[in-house]
A = this chain, B = another copy of it.
Protein backbone atom coordinates (compact mmCIF):
# COMPACT_ATOMS: atom_id res chain seq x y z
CA UNK A 1 0.00 0.00 0.00
CA UNK A 2 1.39 3.32 -1.13
CA UNK A 3 -0.26 5.55 1.49
CA UNK A 4 1.39 3.52 4.19
CA UNK A 5 4.86 3.97 2.70
CA UNK A 6 4.34 7.69 2.56
CA UNK A 7 3.26 7.94 6.17
CA UNK A 8 6.09 5.68 7.29
CA UNK A 9 8.55 7.86 5.43
CA UNK A 10 7.15 10.87 7.28
CA UNK A 11 7.32 9.15 10.66
CA UNK A 12 10.84 10.18 11.50
CA UNK A 13 12.07 13.50 12.82
CA UNK A 14 15.22 13.62 10.71
CA UNK A 15 13.37 12.80 7.51
CA UNK A 16 10.86 15.56 8.23
CA UNK A 17 13.77 17.92 8.83
CA UNK A 18 15.36 16.98 5.53
CA UNK A 19 12.14 17.68 3.67
CA UNK A 20 11.88 21.02 5.35
CA UNK A 21 15.50 21.93 4.53
CA UNK A 22 14.93 21.01 0.91
CA UNK A 23 12.03 23.40 0.79
CA UNK A 24 14.45 26.31 0.80
CA UNK A 25 17.93 25.00 -0.02
CA UNK A 26 19.50 28.46 -0.40
CA UNK A 27 18.55 29.27 3.17
CA UNK A 28 19.34 25.87 4.61
CA UNK A 29 22.65 24.96 3.01
CA UNK A 30 25.94 26.70 2.24
CA UNK A 31 26.67 27.36 -1.43
CA UNK A 32 27.18 24.26 -3.48
CA UNK A 33 30.31 24.27 -5.56
CA UNK A 34 29.51 21.76 -8.23
CA UNK A 35 25.94 22.66 -9.14
CA UNK A 36 23.19 25.17 -8.57
CA UNK A 37 20.34 24.34 -6.22
CA UNK A 38 17.93 23.71 -9.10
CA UNK A 39 19.13 20.12 -9.29
CA UNK A 40 18.74 19.70 -5.57
CA UNK A 41 21.19 19.25 -2.73
CA UNK A 42 23.89 16.61 -2.62
CA UNK A 43 23.90 13.86 -0.02
CA UNK A 44 27.03 15.13 1.71
CA UNK A 45 25.53 18.52 2.52
CA UNK A 46 22.37 16.94 3.84
CA UNK A 47 24.42 14.53 5.88
CA UNK A 48 26.46 17.28 7.52
CA UNK A 49 23.35 19.17 8.46
CA UNK A 50 21.57 16.09 9.78
CA UNK A 51 24.50 15.07 11.96
CA UNK A 52 24.03 11.38 11.26
CA UNK A 53 26.32 9.02 9.40
CA UNK A 54 26.59 8.94 5.64
CA UNK A 55 24.99 5.52 5.42
CA UNK A 56 22.01 6.52 7.50
CA UNK A 57 21.33 9.66 5.53
CA UNK A 58 21.71 7.83 2.24
CA UNK A 59 19.20 5.27 3.47
CA UNK A 60 16.78 7.97 4.64
CA UNK A 61 16.93 9.68 1.28
CA UNK A 62 16.11 6.47 -0.48
CA UNK A 63 13.15 5.90 1.84
CA UNK A 64 11.88 9.36 0.93
CA UNK A 65 12.47 8.61 -2.72
CA UNK A 66 10.67 5.26 -2.64
CA UNK A 67 7.72 7.09 -1.11
CA UNK A 68 7.87 9.49 -4.04
CA UNK A 69 8.50 12.54 -1.87
CA UNK A 70 11.88 13.40 -3.37
CA UNK A 71 13.64 12.87 -6.68
CA UNK A 72 17.31 12.36 -7.35
CA UNK A 73 19.66 13.33 -10.14
CA UNK A 74 23.12 11.92 -10.47
CA UNK A 75 25.71 14.38 -11.77
CA UNK A 76 29.23 13.04 -11.78
CA UNK A 77 30.02 11.64 -8.39
CA UNK A 78 27.22 13.54 -6.72
CA UNK A 79 23.61 12.63 -6.27
CA UNK A 80 21.34 15.61 -5.83
CA UNK A 81 18.03 15.30 -4.10
CA UNK A 82 15.11 17.68 -4.34
CA UNK A 83 11.50 17.66 -3.25
CA UNK A 84 8.77 16.37 -5.52
CA UNK A 85 6.24 19.11 -4.87
CA UNK A 86 3.56 17.36 -6.86
CA UNK A 87 3.68 14.49 -4.39
CA UNK A 88 2.89 16.83 -1.51
CA UNK A 89 -0.06 18.29 -3.34
CA UNK A 90 -1.35 14.82 -4.05
CA UNK A 91 -0.84 13.86 -0.44
CA UNK A 92 -2.75 16.86 0.73
CA UNK A 93 -5.65 15.94 -1.54
CA UNK A 94 -5.44 12.29 -0.63
CA UNK A 95 -5.95 13.22 2.99
CA UNK A 96 -9.04 15.15 2.10
CA UNK A 97 -10.58 12.40 0.02
CA UNK A 98 -9.14 8.95 0.74
CA UNK A 99 -8.26 8.86 4.40
> CB within 8 Å of B: which residues of A?
1, 3-4, 7-8, 10-13, 16, 19-20, 88-89, 91-93, 95-96, 98-99
The docked-state distance in angstroms from the alpha carbon of A88 to that of B94 is 10
When C-beta atoms are compared, the residue in chain B nearest to A12 turns out to be B4
Task: Say which residue of B19, B96, B99 sits within 8 Å of A19 (CB atoms).
Answer: B99
Complex interface: chain B residues within 8 A of A12 (CB): 4
When C-beta atoms are compared, the residue in chain B nearest to A89 turns out to be B96
The docked-state distance in angstroms from the alpha carbon of A20 to that of B98 is 8
Contact B99 A16 (CB under 8 A): yes
When C-beta atoms are compared, the residue in chain B nearest to A3 turns out to be B16
Contact B8 A4 (CB under 8 A): no
Given contacts A4-B13, A7-B7, A13-B4, contact A88 B96 (CB under 8 A): yes
The docked-state distance in angstroms from the alpha carbon of A20 to that of B94 is 12
Contact A11 B20 (CB under 8 A): no
